[in-house]
């Protein structure tokens, strides 16, 4: 009387199917790491590790070649730094505006517009960066001669940086807005009832209460910026330089990978293996960043439950 | 619970032993409401509220839920301004000054008229930072430690938290959190404290502590408290206002209206309106 009427195989099958879905992403990550390791080890059999990790010249095509990865790491950081310097204030500003100031009507228009911006293919943003941001915004506005000047340069780290900034503003704005709107209504009222102005309520209560979500949005944005390829390929150039100067043509790690790992590369060559070595560094960088951010979020989170 | 307004209210005969002297007059008025009506999106929530609220007295607003007690309370420190659809009509004077006058700054109003809410809402910060919040945003940074201690003592919380001021406020019990919210409110040194069912989420012991506290606070502050706990109103308040929902003839619209407002003792022992008597004796609501 109390036994199940059937074995419920369907029920079990669903459970396993769902578990498999969850497993897929874990498996993929593992597979990527494994596929990176082999050629990376092969690379270090040819190129000394100290040259790779401490060298500042990245000239694989020269004879003899030099593989100082810091040069293209700097390229990536250069673009990311200037991109985030633009995207963090603009993104957070939008988020505070949307969650605390905008009327429901304005919100209903602006938020979808932001999401459309998030959906623009990065190749289009990259093209916009070289064909508009660089000649129409950076060149006219950049002070003459500052850091070598921007005039007459076809590619600039700053152009790619601003392009990436535009790309990640919606991530920061939308996620931070959600985080701030998730702060209980009662905290707003509590703060207003103490005679706080709107700006104080937003900055001293709501913003800190939503900090973990805000930090998460920024970290996600940085990860996307570090990994972004098309925009840097199109706008930043392909001349590796160990510099954070925004008005230089540089090369980022991703654009080295994209421009080197083409169809005609021979599988056993140093160039081929270098792509994996750079990929490993990129992977490690994002991993460290994510770990650090999880720590940060745990530490500074203001729990409101 | 819903009562249809009749043309005239039935007279009730009062037993002679309950006949009392007239309530003492309000000596100093903190608020004067003349024909206050609050609408949400054009629909009235309370109507025709005229009453005077005494300075350094405890005034209780009682009535069945939905009759507009919170709505009325939130008019008093312009908290309704935060609800875009809300609109306040009529005249509301605070120490004789029009609270809704053209040059009145709601932020300034709320510095003088603080509020404690139904659900304790401490900020997700340390106990100290919670109490220091008000003085800090108002730029009163001198002697902050003393201000915090004084406020916590004032809210009868100091002895329980003095060794863990840096701990997160969420580690406190519900009753302690509510007293922290009271401390946070008095740290701003307001003139009036509004409390919207401050004990409804608390156990009887915490409730008792907060009731004792209210009686102490009345020495320094005017207090208006919403409660649907009638014993509480009877224990802590000097005057009680009873509100009730009223329906229009077609029963389409409903709004709250002031039925009776008098000295608490009178309202509870010898109400002049039958509906008040039914409510305070637990027959309705
Ligand atoms: N923000 C609001 N928007 C629209 N209607 C509201 C809002 N707040 C309260 N009301 C309405 O106003 C009436 C009175 O509510 P309220 O003041 O909360 O009553 P009480 O505190 O006595 O329970 C209710 O009918 C309620 O639905
Ligand atoms: Mg209420």
Token pair for residue B94? 């605070």
In whole angstroms, what is the distance from residue B9 CA to residue A170 CA? 62
Q: Do B123 and A191 touch (CB under 8 A)?
A: yes
Q: Which residues in chain A are contacts of B182 at CB distance < 8 A?
A: none
Q: What is the pLDDT of residue A176?
A: 94
Which ligand sits closest to the CA of B68? 1
Q: What is the pLDDT of residue B224?
A: 97
Q: What is the pLDDT of residue A298?
A: 74
Q: What is the pLDDT of residue A64?
A: 87
In whole angstroms, what is the distance from residue B246 CA to residue B259 CA? 10
Question: For residue A159, which of A137, A126, A129 has the smallest C-alpha distance?
Answer: A129
The pLDDT-based confidence of B14 (bands split at 50, 70, 90) is very low
What is this model's ipTM? 0.87
Three-class DSSP category at B104: coil
Q: What is the pLDDT of residue B21?
A: 44
Higher pLDDT, A42 or A297: A42
Q: Which residues in chain B are contacts of A213 at CB distance < 8 A?
A: none
Question: What tens digit of pLDDT does each residue of A9-23 get?
Answer: 888 899 999 999 999
Chain B residue with Cα closest to A199: B137
A8-12, B4-8, B260-264: segment of lowest average pLDDT: B4-8
Does residue B16 carry a pLDDT above 60?
A: no
> Residues, chain A, total?
305
- As a whole number, mean pLDDT of residues A263-272 equals 84
In whole angstroms, what is the distance from residue A123 CA to residue A102 CA? 32
Token pair for residue A195? 């005679």
Q: What is the pLDDT of residue A150?
A: 83
Q: What is the pLDDT of residue B7?
A: 43
The pLDDT-based confidence of B282 (bands split at 50, 70, 90) is confident
**Nearest chain A Cα distance for residue B175, angstroms:** 15
Q: Does B201 lie at the interface with A, CB-CB under 8 angstroms?
A: no
Higher pLDDT, B23 or B149: B149
C-alpha separations of A36 from A134, B94, B143, B188 in Å: 35, 73, 60, 61
Concatenate the DSSP letters of all residues of B176-242 into one string.
Answer: HHHHHHHHHHHTT--SEEEEESTTTTS-HHHHHHHHHHHHHHTTT-EEEEE-S-HHHHHHH-SEEEE
Question: What tens digit of pLDDT does each residue of A57-115 get?
Answer: 999 888 888 999 999 999 999 999 999 999 999 999 999 999 999 988 999 999 999 88
The pLDDT-based confidence of A267 (bands split at 50, 70, 90) is confident
Mutation pick from B86, B123, B135, B189 vs chain A, by most beta carbons of A within 10 Å, is: B123
- As a whole number, mean pLDDT of residues A137-146 equals 89
In whole angstroms, what is the distance from residue B67 CA to residue B245 CA? 5
Does residue A138 carry a pLDDT above 70?
A: yes
Q: What is the pLDDT of residue B119?
A: 93
Does residue A304 carry a pLDDT above 70?
A: no
Q: Which residue has the tokens 């390829």?
A: A229
β strands within chain B, DSSP E: 3-4, 29-40, 43-54, 58-62, 86-94, 97-98, 113-116, 192-196, 222-226, 239-247, 254-263
Q: Do B108 and A195 touch (CB under 8 A)?
A: yes
CB-nearest to A195 from B111, B168, B181 is B111
Three-class DSSP category at B261: strand
Sequence-ordered alpha helix ranges (H) in chain A: 9-46, 49-54, 70-96, 104-119, 122-128, 139-141, 157-181, 185-192, 198-200, 207-209, 211-227, 230-235, 253-260, 270-300
The 3-class secondary structure across A166-187, one letter per residue, is HHHHHHHHHHHHHHHHCCCHHH
- As a whole number, mean pLDDT of residues A161-171 equals 95
**Phi/psi at B101 (5° precision):** -65, 160
Question: What tens digit of pLDDT does each residue of A197-256 get?
Answer: 999 999 999 999 998 889 889 998 999 999 999 999 999 999 999 999 999 999 999 999
Give the atom of ligand 1 at the shortest distance from the alpha carbon of B64. 22
> Best of B42, B45, B82, B197 to mutate for ligand 1, by most ligand atoms within 8 A of CB?
B45
Q: Does A196 lie at the interface with B, CB-CB under 8 angstroms?
A: yes
Tell how far the Cα of B115 is from the centroid of ligand 2, in angstroms: 13
Q: Does A153 lie at the interface with B, CB-CB under 8 angstroms?
A: no
Question: What tens digit of pLDDT does each residue of B157-193 get?
Answer: 999 999 999 999 999 999 999 999 999 999 999 999 9
Q: Do B137 and A200 touch (CB under 8 A)?
A: yes
Chain A residue with Cα closest to B136: A196
Token pair for residue A170? 């919606």
Count Cα atoms within 13 angstroms, Cβ side, for B83: 15
Tell how far the Cα of A305 is from the centroid of ligand 2, in angstroms: 22
Q: What is the pLDDT of residue B140?
A: 87
Q: What is the pLDDT of residue B3?
A: 47
Does residue B17 carry a pLDDT above 80?
A: no
Cβ count near A265 (within 10 Å): 11
Does residue B128 carry a pLDDT above 70?
A: yes
Q: Give A38: exposed, middle or buried? Use CB within 10 Å, 0-12, 13-18, 19+.
A: exposed
CB-nearest to B124 from A195, A196, A304 is A304
Task: Report yes or no: A249 and A156 within 8 Å, Cβ to Cβ.
Answer: yes
Does residue B22 carry a pLDDT above 50?
A: no
Token pair for residue A92? 């957070």
Does residue A258 carry a pLDDT above 80?
A: yes
Tell how far the Cα of B255 is from the centroid of ligand 1, in angstroms: 9
Residues 207-266 of chain B with CB under 8 A from chain A are none
Tell how far the Cα of B104 is from the centroid of ligand 2, in angstroms: 26
Does residue B1 carry a pLDDT above 50?
A: no
Question: For residue A202, which of A188, A220, A212, A182 has the smallest C-alpha distance?
Answer: A188
Mean pLDDT over all residues of chain B?
88
Question: For residue A77, which of A268, A301, A289 has the smallest C-alpha distance?
Answer: A289
Task: Report yes or no: B63 and B69 within 8 Å, Cβ to Cβ.
Answer: yes
Q: What is the pLDDT of residue B8?
A: 44
Mean pLDDT over all residues of chain A?
91
Does residue B18 carry a pLDDT above 50?
A: no
Chain B residue with Cα closest to A202: B137
Q: Which residue has the tokens 């129409």?
A: A136
Instruction: Given CATH 3.40.50.300, say whether it is the number of domain B28-280.
Output: yes
In whole angstroms, what is the distance from residue B204 CA to residue A71 CA? 68
Residue % of chain A over a pLDDT of 70: 98
Tell how far the Cα of B251 is from the centroid of ligand 2, in angstroms: 22
Task: Report yes or no: B49 and B258 within 8 Å, Cβ to Cβ.
Answer: yes
Q: Do A192 and B188 touch (CB under 8 A)?
A: no
Residue % of chain B over a pLDDT of 90: 73
Would you list the domain boundaries of chain B?
A: 28-280
Q: What is the pLDDT of residue B9?
A: 41
Does residue A118 carry a pLDDT above 60?
A: yes
Query: What is the CATH topology of the domain spanning A54-300?
Result: MetI-like fold (1.10.3720)
In whole angstroms, what is the distance from residue B115 CA to residue B81 CA? 14
- As a whole number, mean pLDDT of residues B73-102 equals 94
In whole angstroms, what is the distance from residue B146 CA to residue B171 CA? 23
In whole angstroms, what is the distance from residue A46 CA to residue A43 CA? 5
Q: What is the pLDDT of residue B5?
A: 45
CB-nearest to B123 from A104, A187, A192 is A187
Tell how far the Cα of B197 is from the centroid of ligand 1, in angstroms: 14
In whole angstroms, what is the distance from residue A228 CA to residue A129 CA? 14
Q: Which residues in chain B are contacts of A180 at CB distance < 8 A?
A: none
Q: Does B122 lie at the interface with A, CB-CB under 8 angstroms?
A: yes
In whole angstroms, what is the distance from residue B52 CA to residue B35 CA? 11
Compute the C-alpha angle A266/A270/A272, nearest 5°. Answer: 50
Q: What is the pLDDT of residue A300?
A: 65
The pLDDT-based confidence of A263 (bands split at 50, 70, 90) is confident
Task: Report yes or no: B86 and B40 within 8 Å, Cβ to Cβ.
Answer: yes
The pLDDT-based confidence of B221 (bands split at 50, 70, 90) is very high
Does residue B250 carry a pLDDT above 90?
A: no
Would you list the domain boundaries of chain A?
A: 2-46, 54-300
Q: Which residues in chain B are contacts of A190 at CB distance < 8 A?
A: 117, 121-123, 181, 184
Chain B residue with Cα closest to A205: B123
Three-class DSSP category at B92: strand
Q: Do A194 and B185 touch (CB under 8 A)?
A: yes
Tell how far the Cα of B87 is from the centroid of ligand 1, in angstroms: 13
CB-nearest to A194 from B108, B119, B188 is B188
CB-nearest to A193 from B115, B124, B170 is B115
Task: Report yes or no: A66 and A58 within 8 Å, Cβ to Cβ.
Answer: yes
Q: Please list every protein residue whose CB sits less than 6 Å from any atom of ligand 1.
A: B 40, 45, 65-71, 83, 85
Q: Which residues in chain B are contacts of A209 at CB distance < 8 A?
A: 123-124
A261-265, B102-106, B146-150, B228-232: segment of lowest average pLDDT: A261-265
């Amino acid at each position: 009387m109390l036994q199940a009427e059937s074995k419920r195989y369907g029920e079990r099958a669903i459970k396993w199917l769902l578990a498999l879905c969850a497993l897929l992403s874990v498996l993929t990550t593992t597979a990527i790491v494994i596929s990176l390791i082999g050629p990376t080890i092969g690379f270090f059999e040819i190129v000394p590790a100290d040259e790779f990790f401490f060298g500042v010249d990245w000239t694989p095509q020269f004879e003899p070649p030099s593989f100082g990865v810091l040069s293209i790491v700097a390229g990536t950081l250069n673009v990311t730094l200037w991109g985030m310097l633009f995207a963090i204030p603009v993104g957070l500003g939008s988020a505070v505006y949307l969650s605390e100031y905008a009327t429901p009507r304005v919100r209903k228009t602006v938020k979808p517009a932001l999401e459309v911006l998030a959906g623009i293919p990065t190749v289009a943003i990259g093209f916009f960066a070289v064909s508009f941001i660089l000649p129409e915004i950076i060149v006219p506005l950049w002070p003459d001669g500052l850091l070598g000047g921007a005039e007459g340069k076809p590619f600039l780290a700053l152009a790619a940086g601003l392009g990436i900034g535009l790309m990640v503003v919606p991530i920061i704005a939308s996620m931070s807005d959600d985080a701030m709107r998730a702060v209980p209504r009662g905290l707003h009222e509590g703060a207003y009832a103490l005679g706080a102005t709107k700006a104080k309520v937003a900055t001293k209560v709501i913003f800190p209460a939503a900090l973990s979500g805000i930090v998460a949005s920024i970290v996600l944005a940085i990860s996307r910026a570090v990994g972004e390829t098309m925009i840097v390929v199109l706008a930043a150039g392909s001349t590796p330089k160990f510099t954070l100067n925004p008005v230089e043509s540089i090369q980022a790690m991703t654009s080295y990978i994209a421009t080197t790992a083409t169809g005609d590369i021979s599988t056993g060559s140093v160039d081929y293996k270098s792509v994996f070595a750079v990929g490993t560094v990129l992977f490690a960088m994002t991993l460290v960043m994510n770990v650090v951010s999880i720590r940060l979020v745990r530490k500074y989170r203001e729990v409101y439950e | 619970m819903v009562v249809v307004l009749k043309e005239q209210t039935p007279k009730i005969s009062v037993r002679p032993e309950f006949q009392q002297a007239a309530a003492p007059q309000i000596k100093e008025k903190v608020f004067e409401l003349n024909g206050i009506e609050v609408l949400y999106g054009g629909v009235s929530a309370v109507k025709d509220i005229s009453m005077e609220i005494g300075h350094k007295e405890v005034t209780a607003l009682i009535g069945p839920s939905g009759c507009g007690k919170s709505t009325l309370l939130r008019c008093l420190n312009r908290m309704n301004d935060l609800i875009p659809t809300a609109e306040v009509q009529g005249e509301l004077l605070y120490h004789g000054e029009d609270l809704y006058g053209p040059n009145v700054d709601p932020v300034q109003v709320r510095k003088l008229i603080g509020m404690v809410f139904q659900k304790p809402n401490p900020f997700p910060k340390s106990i100290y930072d919670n109490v220091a919040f008000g003085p800090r945003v108002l730029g009163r940074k001198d002697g902050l430690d003393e201000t915090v201690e004084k406020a916590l003592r004032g809210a009868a919380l100091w002895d329980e938290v003095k060794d863990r001021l840096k701990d997160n406020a969420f580690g406190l019990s519900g009753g302690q959190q509510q007293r922290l919210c009271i401390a946070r409110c008095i740290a701003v040194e307001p003139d009036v404290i509004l409390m919207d069912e401050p004990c409804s989420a608390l156990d009887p012991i915490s409730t008792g502590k907060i009731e004792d506290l209210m009686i102490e606070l009345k020495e320094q502050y005017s207090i208006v408290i919403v409660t649907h706990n009638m014993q509480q109103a009877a224990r802590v308040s000097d005057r009680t206002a009873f509100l009730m929902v009223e329906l229009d003839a077609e029963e389409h619209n409903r709004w709250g209206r002031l039925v009776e407002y008098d000295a608490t003792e009178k309202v509870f022992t010898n109400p002049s309106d039958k509906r008040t008597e039914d409510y305070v004796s637990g027959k309705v609501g």
